[in-house]
Amino acid sequence: MSGIENLLREDLRGVTPYGAPQFDVPVRLNTNENSYPVPPEVVEEITRAVAAVAADLNRYPDREFTDLRAALAAYLTDTSRDHDVTVTPEQVWAGNGSNEVLQHLVLAFGGPDRTALGFTPAYSMHPIISGSAGTTWVDGLRGQGGEPFDLTLESAVAQVREHQPHLVFLCSPNNPTGTALGLDVVEAVYAAAERAIVVVDEAYAEFARRGTPSALTLLEGRPRLVVTRTMSKAFAFAGGRLGYLAADPALVDALRLVRLPYHLSAPTQSIALAALRHAASLLGTVEVIKEQRDRIVGQLTVLGLEPVPSDANFVLFGGLSDSAQTWRDLLDRGVLVRDVGIPHYLRVTAGTPAETDAFLAAMAEIAPKAIAPKAIAPATDRSGL
């Protein structure tokens, strides 16, 4: 150990930074991006919005991003109207992607001598963000109720009571499995985790199958509950870097203690507002993507593989004898998917019909040698994404 490594925090030494492979291939289905480009009319609106703020870039932006919080609150209220949910601007917080929002939560409520619990495999940034703030991470377990990736109410509550965390992360739909949680699990975890902030990560909520509930319906009367969302996926806005959350106003106010000054730039605020004004247009691809997701599940089943039914814009599929080799075989055919570190499983994003065609054609070629001779239970490697 020498040089910079010797000066690095001890808990960061030897740690691998987050990152997904980036290759210039015809079909990129590894990072759960929306494959559809931003529509021309939205591009024009964004261009006008940025031009409108450009002359004032000598000034700091609105520190409270007031207009954006109001627009996000209106969007959440409108999309939850069937459940009579009203979200106010005071309940909304935003950051440069949902990762920054999650970081604010950990900075405010985690830290040294505090513990965060997540049920893995799940989103790999939860433990990374927790660890970067000195918070002890606990890998909770899934698959205690029979199905390999299920999180049952009884198992979740037992683990919360065992570890007594200060933060609990629940993903619904979960990444990388695509599975959604019942609200009874969220309610039970909240009740059991009496001192914890309970974070329900709903990054893929817009892709959920009809009837899948959102934890937004549970916010009232639960001051420690947080629901996080993003514009990266359903809004086809990954490059815009805008994530947000809804929670009790007092919890939102606490996040001001840890955010950097003026953390949302004027251009970021303006393009996010432009996108929200065109929400219907941007979300117009959601149903098509869901159709491709369900098509992937159906066709992989026909091929003899084991896809996990999904409420997200991706499919985790198993039954592979060698997932690393299958990943390479797909890449050789110009298709990039994600190896999430679960033996015998890979994850594929649901893209355009043409991209789905290419992926399924490649899998049809590979399947005869890729499928395991018999079902193999997933190992306990829980690196996820």
139 by DSSP, 3-state: which?
A: strand
Retrieve residue 169's tokens: 């992360």
Do the Cβ atoms of 74 and 86 come closer than 8 Å? no
- 45: Cβ–Cβ under 8 A, 6 or more apart, which residues? 274, 277, 278
- Amino acid identity at 274: A
Q: Which fold has domain 40-277?
A: Aspartate Aminotransferase; domain 2 (3.40.640)
pLDDT digits (tens, 9 = 90+) for 90-123: 999 999 999 999 999 999 999 999 999 999 999 9
Specify the DSSP element, H or E, that contains 327. helix 323-332
| b/e per residue 137-150 (b: at least 16 CB within 10 A) | bbebebbbeeebbb
Measure the N-to-C terminal CA separation of the chain; round to a whole number of Å: 30
Record the pTM: 0.93
Nearest 5°: the CA angle 259, 260, 265 is 105
**CA–CA distance, 142 with 120 (Å, rounded to integer):** 6
Q: Identify the pLDDT of residue 64.
A: 98
Which residue ranges make up each domain of the chain? 22-37+284-370, 40-277
pLDDT of residue 18: 82
Whats the size of the chain, residue-wise?
Answer: 385
Q: Residue 11: what pLDDT?
A: 86
**For residue 382, what pLDDT is reported?**
44
Biggest alpha carbon–alpha carbon distance for the chain: 64
pLDDT at 141: 92
Query: Regarding the domain delimited by 22-37+284-370, which CATH topology (the fold level of the hierarchy) does it fall under?
Result: Aspartate Aminotransferase, domain 1 (3.90.1150)
Per-residue pLDDT, 145: 65
**What is the Cα 293 distance to its own chain's centre?**
17
Tell me the sheet residues that pair with 24. Answer: none
> How many other C-beta atoms lie within 10 A of the C-beta of residue 22?
10
Q: Give the strand pairing for 314-318 and 346-349.
A: antiparallel
pLDDT of 374: 65
Per-residue pLDDT tens over the stretch 316-368:
999 999 999 999 999 999 999 999 999 999 999 999 999 999 999 999 999 99
Q: What parts of the chain have a pLDDT lower than 70? A: 1-2, 145-146, 374-385
Cα 268 to Cα 263: distance, rounded to the nearest angstrom = 10
